[in-house]
Chain A
Amino acid sequence: MGIGQAFLTSGQIYVMGFAIALGMAALIKLITFVISHSDAKSAAKAAEKEGGAAQ
């Protein structure tokens, strides 16, 4: 393998790696967003139930 092709290969690997890493970051954002919303929903439901019981 020539040095030119080696540069090209490692460049391709870097671009793919960067894309996957940013994809992982987006996945993390999505997971934390979904979980925090579902947690907030269940907390609201629990509060509603508690309120109903108190009434």
Chain B
Amino acid sequence: MNLLELFQGIGSLFAQDPTIAIGRIVLIILGVVLVLLGFKRVLEPLIMIPMGFGMTAINAGMLLKAIPVDGAENDLTNIMIAPMESSTEGLMNVMQIDFLQPIYTLTFSNGLIACIVFMGIGVICDISPVLKYPFTSMLIAMFAELGTILTFPIATAMGFSPGEAAAAAIIGTADGPMVLFTSLLLAKDLFVPITIVAYLYLSICYGFYPALVKILIPKHLRAKAIQLREQDSRTISPKARIIFDVVACAALCLLFPVAAPLFLSFFLGNAIREAVMPNYQKLLENVFLYTATFFLGLLLGILCDVNTFADPKVLKLLILGFIALGVAAVGGIIGGYVVYGINKKNYNPTIGVAGVSCVPTTAKIAQHEVHALDKRVWILQYAMGANVCGVISSAILTGLYVTIIPSLM
């Protein structure tokens, strides 16, 4: 036995096309870089550290299907996951060998993991600001959906099929579970790169959005305090909040049965919060949400083998993701200006960026940018209203895309 057969991770590098081997080495290094960027909090560590480890391990830990003969190319395999396996018998075999296959088959490919994350988001969302300022919050959130709307025709012009274009457009909702859910339904072949691009860009929102806010909103408007009005002092009763949850869930499920799992997850999570059930709250927030986020990161990393990135569509997806999230933030800020006009200048347009539903990151960015200029100005409650409406409007657009687009395919 020679050494390359003994150490097959290295041996497999010599048993395949040199470009693929170089790609594997690049992805191993990229995995390490993601872990370090997560560690330094440049990217979101909750996703990036497991993802980086997964990416490094899958590209390093390749096995040869058979011992190579006369330097001929050889198929590679691994004992972590077989994402393309779909036959019942094959799945039963793979699930007994590949250690992450049960999680992939039973939670990932059916969208369960996205729904669990969404349930956790529901638990951490306070909907009181939405109930206090429903029209302004919804208006801003819908302006922030311009990223989703404009990316769809751009993706179509770049040669994507309607399903793929819709899944890429949903990156503009800035909502990871929504992107995963849509791409699983409409573009199963591209769901790995689309979801990775979405999570990568969402991780860098912290650096990219504050710069946009500074460019698009002059200092005097960023530091603007909102004069209190009658509705600001109003308290929203828990009864009103839970009735809204159940009525909105029923209404949206009636309109879009295809996206019903997402609506159910979000509003059920929120109802558990409003009904004050601490045991369920702790279970969903501390156990389910973090377990799902951990496995989401790890599985996305494991799915990042070199063949995923060999697809030329990945480069286009990187461009589309940037456009989608960039236009979403610009749209949100335009929405902020519109509300500023409607409210006769008694509004801070910085709140507009919070219309991009990346709970609670974008709301925190809005408050942070205002605080950087004047520590006495608080806009967080308005920003959270727009932020939570961003989640609802994203769910509405996802429902529309997954209902309408299949009829065009």
Chain A residues near B (Cβ < 8 Å): 1-3, 6-7, 9-14, 16-18, 20-22, 24-29, 31-32, 35-36, 39
Contacts and interface: CB of A to CB of B under 8 A. Distances in A.
A28 B396 contact: no
A7 to B, nearest CB: 4
A35 B248 CA distance: 15
A31 B240 contact: yes
Given A14-B142, A21-B141, 5 more contacts: A1-B156, A3-B153, A13-B401, A17-B400, A24-B251
Contacts of B141: 21
A32 B397 contact: no
Main SS of chain B's interface residues? helix
A39 to B, nearest CB: 6
B401 A24 contact: no
A22 B140 CA distance: 11
A39 B239 CA distance: 10
Contact of A6 (B135, B153, B248): B153
A28 B130 contact: yes
B396 A9 contact: no
Contacts of B401: 13
Interface of B: 130-131, 134-135, 137-138, 141-142, 145-146, 149-150, 152-153, 156-157, 161-162, 165, 169, 236-237, 239-240, 243-244, 247-248, 251, 255, 389, 392-393, 396-397, 400-401, 404-405, 408
Which of B134, B165, B169, B392 has the most A CB atoms < 10 Å from its CB? Answer: B134
B393 A21 contact: yes
A13 B244 contact: no
Contact of A17 (B145, B153, B165, B405): B145
A24 B145 contact: no
Contacts of B239: 35, 39
A16 B135 contact: no
Contact of A24 (B138, B156, B157): B138
- Which 7 A-B residue pairings sit nearest by Cβ, starting from the closest? A6-B156, A6-B153, A25-B134, A28-B134, A35-B240, A10-B152, A25-B138
Given A10-B149, A10-B169, A24-B134, A17 B142 contact: yes
Contacts of A11: 149
A16 to B, nearest CB: 6
13 contacts: A1-B162, A3-B156, A6-B162, A13-B152, A13-B404, A14-B146, A21-B138, A22-B138, A24-B392, A25-B135, A28-B130, A32-B240, A36-B240
A39 B237 contact: yes
Contact of B255 (A3, A20, A28, A36): A20
A33 to B, nearest CB: 9
A25 B389 CA distance: 10
Contacts of B146: 14
Nearest to B238: A35
Nearest to B394: A17
A1 B408 contact: yes
A20 B389 CA distance: 12
Contacts of A22: 135, 138
A31 B142 contact: no
A10 B157 CA distance: 13
A14 B153 contact: no
Contacts of B161: 1
